[in-house]
Amino acid sequence: MIEAERLLLIEALKDSSNDRFLLLSDSCVPLYNFSFVYNYIMSTPKSFLDSFTDVKESRYNPKMAPIILKNKWRKGSQWFALKRDHAAVVASDAVVFPIFRKFCKRRPLLDSWRQKHLTGDPSKQHNCIPDEHYVQTLLAMKGLESEIERRTLTYTLWNQTNKEYEGAGWHPVTFKSADVDSELIGKIKAIMSVYYETEYRREWCSKNGTAQPCFLFARKFTRGAALGLLNQNIWNT
C-alpha cells in the first residue's frame, strides 16, 4: 500500500502546477462542493495528516532502531492531504521506506485450524499495518509535525468486531443505501473536534485560527449509497 502511495505521489509531482496531494479511497464521498473543498485546503499553509502516539499497541518493531526510534513512531489514518514539499519528502524517501518494507508487515489472516495449532498467542505476534504509520512516522522523524494539522479530512465510523479468523479489532462501517440521508451527512458535517484517547488530546478543527468543520469527505459508502446522495443533491454548500 505505501509503495503504491509513493508511486502516485512521484507521478503527481511531475506536474509543477500540483500544489496539494490528497489520498482518498474509492468508497469516499465529498461532503461539500468543489469550491468549498478547494478553498478549505488551499487557504492554509499546512498539510492535513492524522498523526498520534498510541501507547496501547505494540506494532513498533525494535529491529527498526536505530533508523526509526520508538519516540518518533506515529499512528493515524492513511487518508491525507499533503502540501507539495511534504509530498516530495514522502516520494524521495530512501531511508525510512526500506525499513518499513523489511520490518513493518501485516500479519496474514489465519484460518481457525491454523490458529488452533499455532504455538503461543497469535494476537501477541508482531502485526504492523504500514499505511497507518509510514507517512506519520516519516514526517515526525523529519521534524515537520509543526507544519501539519494532525487530523484527517476523511470521516470514518469504526465498529469493533470479533471474527474467529482475525480476533478482536476495529473495522470501518460500510454505509448502504438504506443507511444514508441528509440527516446522516448533516451530523458528520457538524463535527467540530476529534478526541485522541491515547494522548488525552482533543483536536479542535480550525483553519488559520478559525473554527471549521473537521471533515470534507466520508467513507465507506457503497455505490448505491453514493448514487442516492447524488440524487439528494447534498452539495449545496
176 part of a folded domain: yes
56 part of a folded domain: yes
Is a pLDDT exceeding 90 seen at residue 230? no
Single-letter code of the amino acid located at 202: R
237 part of a folded domain: no
CA 147 to CA 46: how far, in whole Å? 5
Question: How does pLDDT run across 44-72, given as a tens digit for each residue?
Answer: 999 999 999 877 677 899 999 999 999 99
Is a pLDDT exceeding 60 seen at residue 183? yes
CA 86 to CA 192: how far, in whole Å? 25
Cβ contacts of residue 179 below 8 Å, gap of 6+? 225
- Which of 149, 137, 132 lies closest to 203 in space, CA to CA? 149
C-alpha cell of residue 153: 479530512
67 part of a folded domain: yes
CA 143 to CA 139: how far, in whole Å? 6
Rounded to 5 degrees, φ, ψ at 200 are 50, 45
Mean per-residue pLDDT of the chain? 86
Single-letter code of the amino acid located at 137: T
Do 86 and 146 contact (CB within 8 A), yes or no? Answer: no
Confidence band, pLDDT 50/70/90 cuts, at residue 165: very low
Rounded to 5 degrees, φ, ψ at 193 are -155, 160
User: What local confidence, expressed as pLDDT, does residue 167 receive?
Assistant: 47
User: What local confidence, expressed as pLDDT, does residue 112 receive?
Assistant: 42
C-alpha cell of residue 20: 496539494
195 part of a folded domain: yes
Question: How does pLDDT run across 120-146, given as a tens digit for each residue?
Answer: 544 455 678 999 999 999 999 999 999
48: three-class secondary structure by DSSP: strand
CA 180 to CA 230: how far, in whole Å? 11
For range 95-99, the mean pLDDT: 97
Helix axes 134-141, 84-92, angle to 10 degrees: 100
116: three-class secondary structure by DSSP: helix
Do 84 and 14 contact (CB within 8 A), yes or no? Answer: no
Is a pLDDT exceeding 60 seen at residue 13? yes
| Number of structural domains in the chain | 1
Q: Tell me the residue range of the domain where 45 lies.
A: 2-232
Helix H segments across 142-222? 182-189
Rounded to 5 degrees, φ, ψ at 171 are -135, 145
Of 58-67, 132-141, 193-202, 219-228, give the lowest mean pLDDT range.
193-202
Confidence band, pLDDT 50/70/90 cuts, at residue 160: low
Confidence band, pLDDT 50/70/90 cuts, at residue 113: very low
